[in-house]
Structure 1
Amino acid sequence: MDALVSIVLVTATTAAAVHLLHRSWRSWRLIRHGVRTTGRVVHVREDTDGDGDPTYIPVIAFHTAEGTEREAEPTDGVPNGHLLRPGQEWQIRYHPASPSKIYIDNYDSRVIEVLWGLAGLTLLGVDATILGQTLR
């Protein structure tokens, strides 16, 4: 494989791997160390994903442990907004130092977050293989 092509491929897949691992780590950190409270759906914002397909992102109002009312969104939306209705209550976890970062229990999938992490590790393995072949 041409060295330049290998470098470009490794750079792109390493960037994707780091993004996936960071996303997985951020979610797991909220699951493990986030402050748990009840939040209420204020409204659902419609957006599009990377492919242009519609996705729905709930805006959640909640009170921090200090009693401050906040509104925040999870990092990802869902393709079917019928699960989310204004007024619904959800158990959430928020980061105490940055309450704008939330994880919604039973909405955000822990399995998906693990899969994102595994995808990131797989990409790093592909990078190592490509580099090994290139340096021979």
Structure 2
Amino acid sequence: MTATQTSEPRLYDVWLMLVEFPDHPGVGKPRPVVITDIDGDLLSGIVAKITGNMSWDEAGDVPLLDWKAEGLDKPSLVRCSQRFYFNRSELLRRFGRLSLRDAEHVNDGLAASPDVPPHRRRA
């Protein structure tokens, strides 16, 4: 994965973030995420997890067609049903930005899984 510099997160940016496993609080791993919502303070919002496991096929799973141009190093998909709250300080590095067609597909994926609340880390 290649890094690109920017100061503030924007919708449809792809970032690296430590993603906590919802079933194991305090345990997780760094992984790519796509920013799907930003709060008015521009310092927090919601991301959806990106995975290289292309075998997922549930509501809200969106294969990225332009994954290489978006800064990812292998075919990937967005798991729109796996959303997480973030604070700006948790975003480690920016990879790139979704293409227009991938952003539209992610919007469709989010609409297909609207009843899934984002995971919030336990303090």
Shared fold per TM-score greater than 0.5: no
Q: Which has the larger radius of gyration?
A: 1
Report the TM-score range of the alignment, normalised by the length of the smaller protein: under 0.3
With normalisation by structure 2, the TM-score equals 0.26
Decide which structure has greater strand share. Answer: 2
